């Protein structure tokens, strides 16, 4: 995978927990993006005091440095790539003081360096579908926002999103016929049911759906099970992926993700 680095040009708080970091500079020269709306990059965030330069090769660091100094690896969606200006926008959820990427983004300043590998991707709204279902939390907002911008006029797009309250919503643009509902967490344990319940309440239009369902693992698992078992949506018509998991760092999540995804499949075998 190719390695790149961007220098922070600007940061902008879109909501109290979502910060947009715009990267630019010579380290992005030659970067190209696939034709997709969920394109992601693997960012590499070194621990404080790491004994290597701000611009580094993750592969070389892993070969030559002790493990405790290796950068934390996290995936982030490309919200926008302005090829003409050479500017890359990533939207980071800042979920308290925990983690590597959230705190990095919260404190990023112009000139700071972000090394990343990629890009990779997998989804583009299906132009042959009859309607679109897009479901997720703030971590999926960049991909859902980019997907909505790719949906043409006249096409139905049903969107269910969860966030912390009215002040945490962001404007979304779609040429299609948009049915958008924001759910608001209350801090109660049944917040985990907000998205699955909202999807269960949707009156599905006629025709073939193209579903994009991404976010917290247990929420995605419940929605996927519902779509396949109760709604009869073929697997080929859905992109469902657990981006992160409550109580787990990304390292802990990656260590069990394969088994979790296998269990998700077995739910509806």
Q: Which residues bind ligand FAD (CB under 6 A)?
A: 40, 74-77, 91-93, 95, 98-102, 138-139, 142, 243-250
Residue of closest CB approach to ligand FAD: 99
Place of tokens 């500079």: 25
Please state the closest distance from residue 236 (CB atom) to ligand FAD, in A.
Answer: 20
Question: Which of 153, 189 has the CB closer to ligand FAD?
Answer: 189
Structure letter (DSSP) for residue 171: -
Provide the minimum distance between the beta carbon of 52 and ligand FAD in the complex, in angstroms, as a whole number. Answer: 20
DSSP strands (E only) in 96-217: 113-120, 131-136, 156-163, 177-184, 209-216
> Closest approach of Cβ 195 to ligand FAD, in Å?
13
Positive or negative: CA dihedral 171, 196, 187, 248: negative
Q: How many residues does the chain have?
A: 269
CB of 65 to ligand FAD, least distance (A): 20
Q: How far apart are the two ends of the chain, measured CA to CA in Å? A: 34
Nearer Cβ to ligand FAD (183/202): 183
Q: Which is nearer to ligand FAD, 94 or 156 (CB)?
A: 94
- Residue among 130 and 255 whose Cβ is closer to ligand FAD: 255
Read off the tokens for 32: 């190209």
Please provide residue 260's backbone torsions phi and psi, each rounded to the nearest 5 degrees: -65, -45
């Amino acid at each position: 995978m190719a390695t790149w680095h961007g220098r922070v040009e600007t940061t902008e708080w879109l909501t109290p927990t979502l910060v947009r970091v715009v990267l630019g500079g010579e380290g992005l020269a030659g970067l190209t993006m696939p034709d997709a709306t969920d394109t992601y990059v693997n960012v590499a965030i070194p621990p404080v005091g790491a004994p290597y330069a701000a611009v580094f090769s993750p592969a070389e660091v892993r070969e030559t440095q002790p493990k405790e100094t290796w950068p934390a690896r996290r995936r982030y969606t490309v919200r926008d790539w302005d090829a003409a200006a050479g500017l890359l926008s990533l939207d980071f959820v800042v979920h308290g003081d925990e983690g590597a990427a959230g705190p990095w983004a919260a404190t990023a300043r112009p000139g700071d360096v972000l090394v990343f590998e990629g890009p990779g991707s997998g989804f583009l709204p299906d132009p042959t579908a009859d309607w679109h279902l897009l479901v997720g939390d703030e971590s999926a907002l960049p991909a859902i926002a980019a997907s909505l911008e790719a949906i043409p006029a006249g096409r139905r797009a049903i969107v269910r999103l969860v966030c912390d309250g009215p002040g945490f919503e962001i404007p979304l643009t779609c040429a299609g016929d948009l049915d958008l509902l924001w759910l608001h967490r209350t801090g109660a344990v049944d917040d985990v049911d907000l998205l699955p319940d909202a999807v269960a309440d949707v009156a599905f239009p006629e025709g073939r759906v193209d579903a994009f369902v991404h976010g917290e693992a247990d929420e995605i698992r419940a929605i996927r099970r519902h779509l396949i078992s109760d709604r009869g949506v073929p697997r080929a018509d859905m992109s469902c992926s657990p981006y992160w998991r409550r109580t787990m760092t990304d390292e802990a999540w990656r260590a069990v993700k394969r088994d979790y995804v296998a269990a998700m499949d077995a739910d509806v075998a």
